[in-house]
Structure 1
């Protein structure tokens, strides 16, 4: 039997591990467990960094660390490799959820501001798992949205992929970010969208759901004041969880790093890291996996005034925003702790393909079918 410490908020993680694993859950708010010498494996989330400062002495027993997230900037992978610790992430686990957040945000913005999405160009910075799904869902809207994928590192790796040029990207109407946060290499992404780029180009809308710091918040604020970026939407923040209230208050939509949060994405994340852990220790996976029923919506469609109001009912983006604003306004001394608490404890949503709607919804809002919602079967 092996002992594994796991973040207690890794969704249903126990359901993915067999009895041959002694699973010990820990509270990430209290930092990494102090008795890791007992463990062979450690499963974390983005709220706990792993590096020479947070884990200065890696126990000899610990041979595997996994993170239930698609990003890995909170883990010093070179440090783990130097100490012979295997590492796995959950890349791609939440790609569809992120794409649905982008589509929801765009539809709410378009409807409320009376800015049609038809014939708009959307620049996608980073065309990995999430960026590809964003491109896919925008193409499926069938509104002649031109997607411009910018990913020079992938262009270099894959002969079948062609990245847009920087000039092509910076001449789009809308920018959305889906790239890791990096500070080194040929294409560092830290403060990629900075004062220099924003002073030379204007965008109707900027969205960042990737990592805080890819977009320079102060430069974005100044661009908004000058009118070159009238709207921006942020789900990720510099210095998270101690976020700056000013850029948050000025954001068109603001949420607490939850774009990738859905029941399906969380199940994917737990399964990916659990499978990697079991493969590392040559253990058989658990045969019975968790199953979740579909969400049925029965409220009459006439209850909703417009598509934006309906989308806020089907996706909790508005509720997340209200809770985040409450934290920023009323809790200056503990807002970081409450930010993480909101992320960890807010009820998860279903992805669109797991939501069943009456026929009348599709008759009034045909775009719902393009988004992947399904018709109820009576």
Structure 2
């Protein structure tokens, strides 16, 4: 069996080597000629899997994407050919939620505000939006969810209107790319919507670049009329509009979901799906390959407030590192993709065990940390 795998899917050799002959390829540059004898194709979001890519292949049986999004996959075409398909829903929801949390803590320090004084509208209440909601709600923020498809489908959670979204202090986007239909998301934030936002608001996009009209955003930015911007995704990646960069407070190259743990979770989900498809026994799990985090245990002796929380989270992930690297590397040829390909290892908060009092554990756990009840001993002092 010939298994073709994007070279940036982590630990692919470890998971799939027992299944057949492995062929690694560049997800951005793969061609129809390369895939002519593929039985299995495993990709990421940068590869458009459609008839054009697969026109020369007659053997394909299974396609998988190690991502939560599926807009890069022509599932209708695969179904027509009888090719099985699997994705990795929710694999990087924790990573994206921690990106949002890290970004908001940076902005809170820069702009001198308290998070639980702010309202946030989370646009898209699926796996990722729900993970963001859990963490920010635990901090006492006034969290609102907006997701018309889920609301119409009978989701029992309370949802807000789009008017309420635009009135929130913070807006965080977590929707898939949807073209057409009743609820399209392409240019959901177009010139008309963007012009209703004020410079006092915060707009974060860690979903798909096409959700925001980047040209309209630039036009407003040049007039000083945009909210504070955090952009992880951009239109026309990797050839983004670099004129936007000076107006973006935190800018990164589509790496919000790029924690090692989240990416490994995606690989493992594809491995399990392929084993199921081939009716083979599952032999490996992520724990067989992942190593212990460099910083894995700390002890705190005071109540978790915002400054302490920022210190704890930034022990694991400080988004300012990625922002600085991105601004430096984007000037290079293929800088956008190079940073993604050579992305420095990043772990999730769960890899850090926090020793604290029992009353602090609930909050820390909701934020994603591992916890342990700290032994409280009385100190004695000899004089």
Q: Same fold per TM (> 0.5)?
A: yes
Name the structure, 1 or 2, with higher relative contact order (CA <8 Å, separation 6+).
Answer: 1
Give the whole-Å Cα distance in 2 for the aligned partners of 1:166 and 1:116.
25
SS of equivalent to 1:118: helix
Identify if the C-alpha distance between structure 1 residues 152 and 55 changes in structure 2 by more than 3 Å, giving closer, same or farther.
same
Give the whole-Å Cα distance in 2 for the aligned partners of 1:221 and 1:99.
26
| 1:132 corresponding residue in structure 2 | 130
| 2:83 corresponding residue in structure 1 | 85
| 2:379 corresponding residue in structure 1 | none
Q: Which runs of 5+ in 1 are unaligned?
A: none
How big is the shift at 1:280? 1.6
Give the whole-Å Cα distance in 2 for the aligned partners of 1:9 and 1:117.
36
How big is the shift at 1:36? 2.5
Question: Is the 1:295–1:354 contact (alpha carbons within 8 Å) kept by the matching residues of 2?
Answer: no
Matches within 5 A, 1:127-276: 127-141=125-139, 144-202=140-198, 204-276=201-273
Give the whole-Å Cα distance in 2 for the aligned partners of 1:172 and 1:97.
24
Matches within 5 A, 1:270-349: 270-287=267-284, 289-296=288-295, 311-328=313-330, 330-331=331-332, 334=333, 337-349=334-346
How big is the shift at 1:200? 3.1
| 2:380 corresponding residue in structure 1 | none
> Which moved further from structure 2: 271-280 or 307-316?
307-316
Give the whole-Å Cα distance in 2 for the aligned partners of 1:372 and 1:20.
34
How big is the shift at 1:161? 4.0
How big is the shift at 1:340? 1.1
Q: TM-score, normalised by structure 2?
A: 0.85
> Which moved further from structure 2: 102-111 or 343-352?
343-352
Give the whole-Å Cα distance in 2 for the aligned partners of 1:287 and 1:374.
24
Structure 1 vs Structure 2 CA RMSD: 2.8
Question: Is the 2:173–2:205 contact (alpha carbons within 8 Å) kept by the matching residues of 1?
Answer: yes
Question: Is the 2:93–2:127 contact (alpha carbons within 8 Å) kept by the matching residues of 1?
Answer: yes
| 1:95 corresponding residue in structure 2 | 93
Query: CA-to-partner distance for each residue in 1:176-200, whole Å, 9 max, x for gaps?
Result: 1000011111000001011111223
How big is the shift at 1:9? 1.2
Give the whole-Å Cα distance in 2 for the aligned partners of 1:369 and 1:272.
24
> Which moved further from structure 2: 180-189 or 200-209?
200-209
SS of equivalent to 2:108: helix
| 1:69 corresponding residue in structure 2 | 67
Give the whole-Å Cα distance in 1 for the aligned partners of 2:28 and 2:319.
24
Q: How many residues align?
A: 362
Identify if the C-alpha distance between structure 1 residues 359 and 259 changes in structure 2 by more than 3 Å, giving closer, same or farther.
same
How big is the shift at 1:298? 8.3
Identify if the C-alpha distance between structure 1 residues 138 and 81 changes in structure 2 by more than 3 Å, giving closer, same or farther.
same
> Which moved further from structure 2: 23-32 or 248-257?
23-32
How big is the shift at 1:268? 0.7
Give the whole-Å Cα distance in 2 for the aligned partners of 1:287 and 1:311.
30
Give the whole-Å Cα distance in 2 for the aligned partners of 1:260 and 1:225.
30
